[in-house]
A and B are shown apart, each in its own frame.
Chain A
Amino acid sequence: MRKAFYIPLGLFVILVIILSIGLTRDPRTIPSPLINKPAPEFTLPLLYRQAETFSPQQMRGKVWLLNVFASWCSGCRAEHHFLMQMARIPGVNLYGLNYKDVPLDGKKWLEQFGNPYKSVAKDINGRVGIDWGVYGVPETFVIDKQGIIRYKQIGPIDQKAINETLLPLIKKLQLQ
């Protein structure tokens, strides 16, 4: 038996260790540079009341959530049920950003599945999405009373995210 013949096995063991640690990570969670930074300003027309506009400026003094969604996004369909559930909780201010969507489709979507949002801003060409660093829909931002982004959820919200992350965070921020 020669020791050299064990080298490939040894290297493979190291490889397996790296891969198993890698499995516990999500390569898509790139930390957002916007965390703890002021939310980018914008003014967009609303989806329903065309004459009115929405801007983060109006939300000063409140803890609120911005959920980026689109009718063409299957992940949004998956989280929609949980958004409806969250919207019923007192103290949760959920606003929607209808991202790169045809306005009529966005409306149809909300009529069909229910509208969890206090208002919906429409970002037809996705310009605001770019400012906010949206790269996968759905995404949800938590913004505090000072207008600072505190948290960003990439991908669909589920029960676990609501109970373990979003609700505790919202409660904590409201006490500040």
Chain B
Amino acid sequence: MIPELGNIALILALCMAVIQSVLPITGTFTNNQALIRLARPAASLQLTFMVISFACLLYAFITHDFSVRYVAENSNTRLPFIYLVSGVWGAHEGSLLLWALVLSIWTMMVNLFSRGIPEDMVARVLAVMGLISIGFILFILLTSNPFARQFPVPIDGFDLNPLLQDPGLAIHPPMLYMGYVGFSVAFAFAIAAMLQGKLDAAWARWARPWTMASWIFLTLGIALGSWWAYYELGWGGWWFWDPVENASFMPWLVGTGLLHSLAVTDKRNTFKAWTVLLSVLAFSLSLLGTFLVRSGVLTSVHAFASDPARGVFILIFLVIVVGGSLSLFAWRASIFKNNVRFNLLSRETFMLLNAVLFVVMAGFILLGTLYPLLLDALNMGKVSVGPPYFNTIFIPLGIPIVLILGIGITARWKQDNGSRLIKALRMPMILSVVLGTVTAVVLVRGVFTAELASFKFIGAELALILAWWIVINSGKLITDRLKNRDNKMSGLQLIPRAVYGMTVAHIGVAVFVVGIILTSLFSIEKDVRLSNNSSVELAGYEFVFEGVRNVLGPNYQAAEGRVLVRKDDKDLVLLHPQKRYYPVKQNTMTEAAIDASLWRDLFVALGEPLGGSPDKSKLEPLDKSNTGAWSVRVYYKPFIRWIWLGALIMSIGGFISATDKRYRVRKLAKQLNMQDNEVATGA
């Protein structure tokens, strides 16, 4: 009964989405206020029905209703409660339901926090989001219904993919979807502006906090996924350039470009067409990502069950949404006049340049992701594009982005003076080279004990110079603002939150850069064969293998190793890496044990039992005598935490910036005319 209720609620949500999109948009063309006013209640009702529908599926999971095929395929009675909940979005059907739910949550947020925005604008935005919702709910109902029943009812379910049985991954998809889907708000604002034919600084100010919020979620979601891959997959890697990872990274890159472009449109009332295009692209790439993951055109570690009918549906949807909005763009973009002129040497130029670099990077990643598909389409064979390709584009594009970041925040709006700019940048340049070199020498000699005349030293030096470059320029931005103030404390308070947010986010970039480069250059990895009480030395740490015992989890059996880590003849920590065997799905999983710290991670993963056990190809579930030697993988990963810490700092910066008072819409309505005048006079 409950699953049918969920199905009906989903159909009602679809009806609401139709009302929410078709009627208000008709209203804006015929100037019918009654129709325009329908958008808000329809959005509220759509959310209500989506929540009911989602709750029904959740209920089916919690009550082990295996007559629902999706529940039977993705859970069983022994599954811990938290994974019953996360199992709801553990596979294709449920994760689409989550997608649609998240979309209606964002729609509701727009509905709630848009009181100061003209009604017809809100109606258009809600209508566009309603259209997207129609597509997704139809997709669920027609090709991927999570409420489908099956008979006979199995006694027990099949179990959730063990890879997904992890707290980090339980919250990774919702985070990522909040980010992905959140870009639909900026998209809807862009479409609304094109339909209306009017785009001003106020428009950018409305769209900015939404873009910022989804960017924060996307940043956290990607970082979470990367962190999960690091400790769960047992390879010690944190990014694999997998098509599905790329699918989330491309919208992030374009979204980052969009954030900066929106800032220019907001502050300077220019770059309008460019901002609109980026809004369309960021969401289009989110949709494309969904297509790549769901249609099965690409193989990846994230592979979900694929079905050609689904692929065809999403492709048609993609053509309608993206093709439609790009056609609208081609037709209408020329009406956005950029009245405000700016000099070639100005902050605008540098921000434009960086946004372009972000888009170019996303373009190259798209090319690399689709290249195997392209070759196959041309009958030129099967290939796969790996990390070497992506690394060769990431580094040469990443370095100018960081350099321009420093110049951009130092340059003045509208027009700057070349000699002033050079003068302002001279000190940060010298200081960052000196500090970068000194810290590189200290780290490379003192910590990593590597040679100074080596490629690795140059790499570390470059990374640290870039990091200091960002930090010093960002710090200088704050101190410059205080220069003419007598009371420094009140001066600090007068600096807008947006500036603090930007500074924090940029420092996050510095931390991220240091993390990536130092980890890549100085990680040490060893695959060794360890028998009882033998040990291996790595980067000054001694790993003593104290054997393996069998342990029993709720829905798995595991061989658990004891590895004692010693440094300078002192016991440091005891690590327990596991090799888990999930009998229901016949899967073996590696649970790495990690001793984490800000400066370095020690990472131990159990490989295979060697000798002692007759079967080397997999962990024998029946074998109780794990006394033999094991292959063990040990890693020393310096600064790896800085990668995720950097992402975390970036999103904190975004959060600080999003809470700036200039975005509070209610106040905004009153201030708007005044500030538009300021922009016009170039204040």
Q: Which residues of A contact B (CB under 8 A)?
A: 1-2, 5-6, 8-9, 12-13, 15-16, 18-23, 25, 27-28, 30-31, 72, 74, 100, 124-127, 130
B308 part of interface (Cβ distance < 8 Å): yes
Which stretch, B368-376, B517-525, B568-576, B637-645, touches the partner chain A? B368-376
How far is it, in angstroms, between the C-alpha of A27 and the C-alpha of B303 when the chains are bound?
11
A22 touching B333 by the CB < 8 A rule?
no
A16 touching B319 by the CB < 8 A rule?
yes
A27 touching B323 by the CB < 8 A rule?
no
Q: Which residues of B contact A (CB under 8 A)?
A: 158, 273, 277, 280-281, 284, 288, 291, 295-299, 308, 311-312, 315, 318-319, 322-323, 326-327, 329-331, 333-334, 370, 372-374, 376-377, 382, 585-586, 615-618
Tell whether A23 pairs with B312 under 8 Å between CB atoms, given A126-B618, A127-B617.
yes
A18 touching B374 by the CB < 8 A rule?
yes
Q: Which residues of B contact A124 (CB under 8 A)?
A: 615
20 contacts between A and B (CB under 8 A): A5-B329, A6-B330, A8-B277, A8-B330, A9-B326, A12-B284, A12-B322, A13-B323, A15-B370, A16-B315, A16-B323, A19-B297, A22-B370, A23-B297, A25-B376, A27-B296, A28-B299, A125-B617, A126-B618, A130-B617
Q: Select from chain B the residue with minimum beta-carbon distance to A101.
A: B586
Q: Which residues of A contact B618 (CB under 8 A)?
A: 100, 125-126
A25 touching B377 by the CB < 8 A rule?
yes
How far is it, in angstroms, between the C-alpha of A31 and the C-alpha of B376 when the chains are bound?
13
Q: Select from chain B the residue with minimum beta-carbon distance to A70.
A: B586
B315 touching A1 by the CB < 8 A rule?
no
Within 8 Å by CB of A8, from B281, B315, B319, B586, lies B281
B376 touching A22 by the CB < 8 A rule?
yes
B326 touching A8 by the CB < 8 A rule?
yes
B370 touching A27 by the CB < 8 A rule?
no
How far is it, in angstroms, between the C-alpha of A22 and the C-alpha of B292 when the chains are bound?
10
Q: Which residues of B contact A126 (CB under 8 A)?
A: 617-618
How far is it, in angstroms, between the C-alpha of A9 and the C-alpha of B329 when the chains are bound?
8
Q: Which residues of A contact B308 (CB under 8 A)?
A: 23
Q: Which residues of A contact B315 (CB under 8 A)?
A: 16, 19-20, 23
Q: Select from chain A the residue with minimum beta-carbon distance to B614.
A: A125
How far is it, in angstroms, between the C-alpha of A129 and the C-alpha of B240 when the chains are bound?
28
How far is it, in angstroms, between the C-alpha of A90 and the C-alpha of B326 when the chains are bound?
60
Within 8 Å by CB of B586, from A2, A6, A30, A72, lies A72
How far is it, in angstroms, between the C-alpha of A140 and the C-alpha of B373 when the chains are bound?
26
A22 touching B329 by the CB < 8 A rule?
no
Minimal beta-carbon separation of A76 from chain B (angstroms) = 12
Within 8 Å by CB of A5, from B319, B334, B372, lies B334
Q: Select from chain B the residue with minimum beta-carbon distance to A127.
A: B617
Q: Select from chain B the residue with minimum beta-carbon distance to A129.
A: B617
How far is it, in angstroms, between the C-alpha of A146 and the C-alpha of B633 when the chains are bound?
45
Q: Which residues of B contact A23 (CB under 8 A)?
A: 295, 297, 308, 311-312, 315
Q: Taking each of B284, B373, B615, which has the highest tally of chain A beta carbons within 10 Å of its own beta carbon?
A: B373
How far is it, in angstroms, between the C-alpha of A16 and the C-alpha of B382 when the chains are bound?
20
Tell whether A25 pairs with B330 under 8 Å between CB atoms, given A16-B323, A18-B373, A20-B315.
no
Chain A contact surface mostly: helix
Q: Which residues of A contact B288 (CB under 8 A)?
A: 15
Within 8 Å by CB of A1, from B296, B297, B334, B376, lies B334
How far is it, in angstroms, between the C-alpha of A22 and the C-alpha of B370 when the chains are bound?
9
Q: Which residues of B contact A74 (CB under 8 A)?
A: 158
Minimal beta-carbon separation of A154 from chain B (angstroms) = 13
Q: Which residues of B contact A127 (CB under 8 A)?
A: 617
Q: Which residues of B contact A22 (CB under 8 A)?
A: 297-298, 370, 373, 376-377
Q: Which residues of A contact B291 (CB under 8 A)?
A: 19
Minimal beta-carbon separation of A13 from chain B (angstroms) = 8
Minimal beta-carbon separation of B371 from chain A (angstroms) = 10
Minimal beta-carbon separation of A80 from chain B (angstroms) = 17
A2 touching B297 by the CB < 8 A rule?
no
Q: Which residues of A contact B312 (CB under 8 A)?
A: 23
Given contacts A23-B295, A23-B315, 15 further A-B contacts (CB under 8 A): A1-B331, A8-B280, A8-B326, A9-B326, A12-B322, A16-B323, A18-B373, A19-B370, A19-B373, A20-B315, A21-B377, A22-B373, A23-B308, A72-B585, A125-B615
Q: Select from chain B the residue with minimum beta-carbon distance to A23.
A: B311
Q: Which residues of A contact B615 (CB under 8 A)?
A: 124-125
How far is it, in angstroms, between the C-alpha of A12 and the C-alpha of B273 when the chains are bound?
18
How far is it, in angstroms, between the C-alpha of A145 and the C-alpha of B311 when the chains are bound?
41
Within 8 Å by CB of B329, from A8, A25, A100, lies A8
Within 8 Å by CB of B299, from A15, A21, A27, A130, lies A27
Minimal beta-carbon separation of B244 from chain A (angstroms) = 13
How far is it, in angstroms, between the C-alpha of A19 and the C-alpha of B273 when the chains are bound?
27
B333 touching A5 by the CB < 8 A rule?
yes
Q: Select from chain B the residue with minimum beta-carbon distance to A3.
A: B330
The 10 nearest A-B residue pairs measured at CB: A21-B377, A9-B326, A22-B373, A22-B297, A5-B333, A72-B586, A27-B299, A6-B330, A23-B311, A5-B330
A12 touching B376 by the CB < 8 A rule?
no
Q: Which residues of A contact B323 (CB under 8 A)?
A: 9, 12-13, 16
Q: Which residues of B contact A25 (CB under 8 A)?
A: 297, 373, 376-377
Q: Which residues of A contact B617 (CB under 8 A)?
A: 125-127, 130
Minimal beta-carbon separation of B609 from chain A (angstroms) = 13
Q: Which residues of A contact B331 (CB under 8 A)?
A: 1
Within 8 Å by CB of A2, from B277, B281, B333, B377, lies B333
How far is it, in angstroms, between the C-alpha of A171 and the C-alpha of B473 when the chains are bound?
77
Q: Select from chain B the residue with minimum beta-carbon distance to A7.
A: B330
How far is it, in angstroms, between the C-alpha of A18 and the C-alpha of B295 when the chains are bound?
14
B297 touching A12 by the CB < 8 A rule?
no
Minimal beta-carbon separation of B385 from chain A (angstroms) = 13
Q: Select from chain A the residue with minimum beta-carbon distance to B243.
A: A27
Minimal beta-carbon separation of B106 from chain A (angstroms) = 24
Q: Taking each of B280, B330, B370, B382, which has the highest tally of chain A beta carbons within 10 Å of its own beta carbon?
A: B330
Q: Select from chain A the residue with minimum beta-carbon distance to B378.
A: A21
Tell whether A12 pairs with B326 under 8 Å between CB atoms, given A2-B333, A5-B334, A23-B297.
yes
B374 touching A9 by the CB < 8 A rule?
no
Q: Which residues of A contact B298 (CB under 8 A)?
A: 22, 27
How far is it, in angstroms, between the C-alpha of A72 and the C-alpha of B585 when the chains are bound?
7
Q: Which residues of A contact B311 (CB under 8 A)?
A: 23
B377 touching A18 by the CB < 8 A rule?
yes
How far is it, in angstroms, between the C-alpha of A124 and the C-alpha of B382 when the chains are bound?
32
Q: Taking each of A2, A27, A31, A74, which has the highest tally of chain B beta carbons within 10 Å of its own beta carbon?
A: A27
Q: Which residues of B contact A130 (CB under 8 A)?
A: 617
How far is it, in angstroms, between the C-alpha of A18 and the C-alpha of B377 when the chains are bound?
7
Minimal beta-carbon separation of B328 from chain A (angstroms) = 10
How far is it, in angstroms, between the C-alpha of A1 and the C-alpha of B308 when the chains are bound?
39
Q: Taking each of A2, A8, A30, A72, which has the highest tally of chain B beta carbons within 10 Å of its own beta carbon?
A: A8
Q: Select from chain B the residue with minimum beta-carbon distance to A126.
A: B617
How far is it, in angstroms, between the C-alpha of A2 and the C-alpha of B277 when the chains are bound?
14
